[in-house]
Amino acid sequence: MMAPVQCDIDKWLEENKKYFVPPICNKLMYKDGQLKTFFVGGPNSRKDFHMEEGEEFFYMLKGDMRLVVHEQGSFRDIKISEGEVFMLPARVPHSPQRIADTIGLVIERERAPKETDLLRYYIDGTDEILYEKWFHCENLEELGPLIKEYFNSEAYKTGKPIPGSLLEDKPIKQDFERKLGDPFSLQNWLDRHKETLDKEGKKKLFDGQYVSRIDVLGKGEHFPDNDLPETFLWQIEGKSAITVDEKAYEFLKNQTMLIQPGSRYWIQNEAGSRTLSVVMNPV
């Protein structure tokens, strides 16, 4: 069994700060397993939209961002402010817009072998589709070459879709029905649910129907299921004692830990401690 991977967010961001400016603007913290955990900087203004069969978790550590989504048949600008979290459901086209001197956390999961992603462009000023590229995403870096492919296309040069290039029977169906939630302050949420987290010890971070299991763990002992895929932990407040496969770890504020699939672990949170737990199951 592989040992858990532990990081200090502040130290890690300082060591990797060169990646959060153009032309790269992002860096993966955890990339080798099922969860893809990365931080994104800016500026990054783009017109491409991305759609996938999994969900995405957003948290803005520094500054604000905009997430443009195509929701229920029209575009919507979602502002995610510093300190806010947001959960993006599956099968919703989205385009992140970031400015300079900002840092955001994004977590998504690896794709199952038969899952398909979409890169899409719309005709300027409309929601008419100009260009689409369907692909199986094995690496998040694949988007770069696909975007370059678009800029070399006739659709980009003419501003009109190439006849016959847009599939009528889409490999995955866009969710036109769902009304997305709003971003909210993580700290305000923690303050509002302090009593629950101290007495009951655990609460779901997001209301609504999501495949992902995103919980905040409060005071007490926590014994997660043994059959989980990878689990991302982030110590939001206080400190914890974590035992993974009989080895003890001290877990301090603003540290993260990636627990490997099949590991047996438990968490002891002292009073006032808060741990974010992210598990993203396949659909």
For the annotated binding site for substrate, the residues are 56, 98, 108
Report the C-alpha gap between 136 and 152 in whole angstroms.
21
The per-type count for the chain, helices as H runs and strands as E runs, is 5, 22
Binding positions are 46, 50, 56, 94, 98, 108
DSSP string across 27-56: EEEE-SSSEEEEEE-S-B----EEE-SS-E
Report H helices in the chain.
Answer: 9-15, 143-151, 154-158, 186-192, 194-199
DSSP string across 207-239: -S--SSEEEEE-SEEE---TT---EEEEEEES-
Q: Are 9 and 233 in contact (CB under 8 A)?
A: no
Binding positions for Fe cation are 50, 56, 94
Q: Are 206 and 84 in contact (CB under 8 A)?
A: no
Binding positions for O2 are 46
Report the C-alpha gap between 183 and 80 in whole angstroms.
6
Report the C-alpha gap between 54 and 90 in whole angstroms.
5
Which tokens is 218 given? 């409060």
